[in-house]
Amino acid sequence: MVVNTRVNIAGVVFVNPVIAASGTYGFGREYSDYVDLNKIGGISVKGLTLQPRLGNDTPRIAETPSGILNSVGLQNPGVDAFIRDEIPYLKQFDTKIIANIAGNTVSDYIEMAEKLDCTGIDILEVNVSCPNVKKGCLAFGTTMSGVAEVTKAVRKATKKPIMIKLTPNVSDIASIALSAEAEGADAVSLINTITGMVIDVNTRRPVLANNTGGLSGPAVRPVAVRMVHEVYKSVSIPVVGMGGICSAEDAIQFILAGASAIMVGTWNFNNPRACSDVAEGIKSYMEENSISDVSKLTGELIMNGD
């Protein structure tokens, strides 16, 4: 059976619904010895800031049951270096380029959006939810007004499709998503990491130098699936789901919950071929279940009692 794995997110057509999540895939070249990047729908690159960042002090990573806690702090070469060095490399491949940006101020977001507007990227993922920077991102992402302010500013600064990356560290994520949609977001992506802490009982200090960090990996998946479904029911724009995806079955949970596409993150550290493996697994599931188009799965969750 011939199946169609292509998905359309804000007018951008991906060869399949699998995207490498920002912060776990570098700029793509780091994985190119292990996987054919043409087999991945898209790559959301390492989070970019206006100026280069060295990131937080070490230790930055702590393992947890079924996940990791990270406090990298957006280490990156800056948006100008990305435009100069990384976009030409990524343009060699049939994979969509998603530039993930994070700012301390609204003007940071505006300036980066303007710089990227004239480049070959396909989508701008606006990170208002990174929990590892002591000022800026988290304050914007945890309120409707903050998300609305950044979304509105970025929408005016670029013609590129914009996707707002949402934090789970809020009481009502659907309302946050609606505020992004109201100000011109073309899509939303969720979830970012859940704030957590690991303590060394011998030193009685947090393991991470930054004290807290973002929890990711399989442990967060049920929370992420639930939040994706809540947002899908509330907005009319595409939802891109992520959070602990390790297999095609995990990915299909998100799609059934309402995701038009999914992102694979932490599992790339365990299996460098995770993205392409998930893409192949989705295709096999479609063939086995006589599903001709992957988009027909989106939101097809049957709730108990219905």
Give the CA angle between residues 221, 260, 301 to the nearest 5°: 65
CB atoms within 10 A of CB 94: 12
What is the C-alpha separation between 234 and 105, in angstroms, rounded?
A: 28
Does 118 qualify as catalytic in the annotation? no
Residue among 71, 79, 68, 87 at smallest CA distance from 28 = 87
113, with CB counted inside 10 A (0-12, 13-18, 19+), is buried
Beta partners for residue 250, in sequence order: none
Question: How far, CA to CA in Å, does 165 sit from each of 187, 216, 242?
Answer: 9, 15, 10
Tokens standing for residue 184: 């011109």
What is the C-alpha separation between 165 and 162, in angstroms, rounded?
A: 10
The phi and psi torsions of 155 (rounded to 5 degrees) equal -60, -40
User: Which residue among 118, 130, 137, 246 is the active-site one?
Assistant: 130
Residues catalogued as catalytic: 130
